[in-house]
Structure 1
Amino acid sequence: METKKHHRDLFLESENTAQLNRTAGTDIFSKVFDNAPLLMIVVNRDGKVENINYATSEALGIDKKDALGLLGGELFGCINSFDGEGCGMNHECSECIVRNTVMRTFMTSEEVYKKEGELTIWIGEEFSTRSLIISTTLIEPGDLSRVLLTVDDITGQKLVEKELRESKKMLEAAKNEAEFANRAKSDFLAKMSHELRTPLNSVIGFSDMLLTENFGKMNEKQSRYAKHISSSGKHLLGLINDILDISKVEAGKMELNLTSFSVPDTIQEILGIISPQAAEKNIALKSDIDLQIDQLCADEAKFKQILLNLLSNAVRFTPSNGCIKIEGKIVRNMLSVSVADNGIGIAPEKQRTIFDPFEQADPSLSSEYGGTGLGLSIVRKFVEMHGGQIYVESEIGKGSTFTFDLPLSYPEFQ
């Protein structure tokens, strides 16, 4: 008897413990359910609401007692619950995210399921299509099974994503339009430059021919006018050539003609070209080329143009009796060339834009020093075409140093 009593006591104790655990578990679930910030709904196998939490009551504007027994569509105020025979009876109900998610969970006994979709509901006097993420969890397996339904309204997020997609499309359209306009501008400039160069070459040629006086002696005034015509024509031709170069680069029509050439010889050649301009202002030209520098694989004509533009600018902005120095060295398998002067210098705020087309260090000085603001832009584009970079260091009243780095060779040329 004592043994039977002992076993009975153990059984009752076990049952009490299990009951306490179930009660504790239920209490914890109820607290989490009631206080969760998400919309949470308990639905039975008939698809009817058995419980809703506070967040659901607040969001849908319905008391818990009025929600019990409603179908999911009726609880959310789905437009289909007001049409025809009501919730679940219309053809459109076959696509209902709430109904399908709940029923699938019951049929498959899958413990957790998540689906994203839309539900059109009545809000006041209007209807609104909401984007929802529905998550379902199977609870109380067996004949008493229920589904815990949680709802996350992501309508605002979807609207932001839609606006971002539309903004991206607009940006792409604007970019394509700008690129088309840029190509059209470049094509126009290229054609105009070509058409202008032909008559301009004739003007320069005939004025130079007059200056030779092979067709008769000119008086002093006539000779002066012919020189003005020739120099102005050459200046204009240089401007047209610069515009043509810029337009070709921007239109992607300029290519590199890679060859191997001597860097020291090329630098001396360019110094010889620029020396008459420097001599007029009594500017000393110095060069310091590392003895390790020999051959460079690059577009020789463009390399010469880079040097010529930098040196021409240095002469233009360096006062009489000044000094210009060109240095060359090898730095990390790159040819580094710098052109330094002791001229007027460039303000810090202008150093960021000086390589842009038609930008000048000080536009107010253009009448005194001349220039179009295209030379440095061409230099940068030619340097970048070679896979290099250019930068400037300058201080007002103390001069400027322009340095460009180019790869010593190209794999496809080796």
Structure 2
Amino acid sequence: MAKSYSFDALGLLHAGTDESIANIAKLASQTLLAPIAYVSVLEKKKDLQHFAAAVSTVLDTSIFCEMSIEGSICKYVQRSNGTVTIDDVALDPRTAGNVFCRENRVRSYIGTPIHTPSGMTIGALCCMTVEPREWTPLDIDIIENLARCIDDVVKSRTIAREERTARLELQELLKTRADYVAHISHEIRTPLTGIAASIAMLDLATTKDRTDRLMAILKRSTAKLLDLVNDALDLAKLDVTSLEVVTQATTLRELVDDVLNDFVSQAAAKSVELQVDEQLDDMFYLADRNLICTILRNLVGNAVKFTDSGSVTVALAEDSYGQVEVAIRDTGIGIAPEFHDKIFKEFEQADATIARRFGGTGLGMSIVKRAVDRMDGTIALQSALGAGSCFTIALPLQPLNTGLLAA
């Protein structure tokens, strides 16, 4: 029985002997009267060829272990994405110097690709003989049909794995939704209680100072409730997976300026300077203005809130992959590394002390993450406690020809 190696190429190989794949290799050997048959998987990034299964009546199958792709014949199958036949390995210029073939007296080869469900070639089903052999169209038809059987195994395993993942994600989603409802119910009840109590006490207020204090409580509670409702609505909209990204021609500098204008007064009250560092030269892109503004408002708002002095800077540039990079940097209180992942979850803030001091719904960063995901972007955080924060967003936006826009 063939030896199997643990290589998780879409669930093709298992940690033990992979009998399904080995049986197909054995059938190929018997049908084509080839004393050597194996199934290989090529891991290009590591330059490794793995063996899912190998059967042989003339060789010890333990020799079928990991080897470099450069030293394998299967690389020609992957490169051509089609069946490769070599009637005499010793005479073919591609394989005349192949060490494996020379050491194991291999003289002929036939290999055909195996695929992922998306059609990408990941390896080959191969047969070898120890004598030169002219491979016929019937031989090619047989091995290609057997390779399709392996494709079916890969596909069924991939579907099964995706179904397991989907079930786990659904369970997590249901739990998150239940926690969300419980938490938001509590958060709404708190300001409503303050509003109701203040209204009731206004009738009993006998002095202007007492009335002013009650009105201040009403304003704070109303503002908190409004923030919570707005954030909850934003989060709910981003939860609708069928919601389309609506793109239009825009410059990111225009969006940044609009958002920063909303925070000028708040920043000035703390002597915090708002800055823009643009390196896009007012380039036009196809972008969803609403989603980008949602991201900017939450990140700039947090930056201003958590910065007592210094500056908040929005930097616009292109990264090395041609994506638009938006970085929001501040000189604020910073975030400890252990909280970097936590803050992107619903109702989470860095710690309870931060929540008590600065307030907030705990939904802002979750909204940002979902908006970034909706545009197929990424978000990264660099921060340390007391050293400010930098949120960097990379978005694959399509640039537009300004000449065409002018026309």
Q: TM-score, normalised by structure 1?
A: 0.48
Higher relative contact order (CA 8 A, sep 6+): 2
Q: Larger helix proportion, structure 1 or 2? A: 1
Structure of higher CA gyration radius? 1
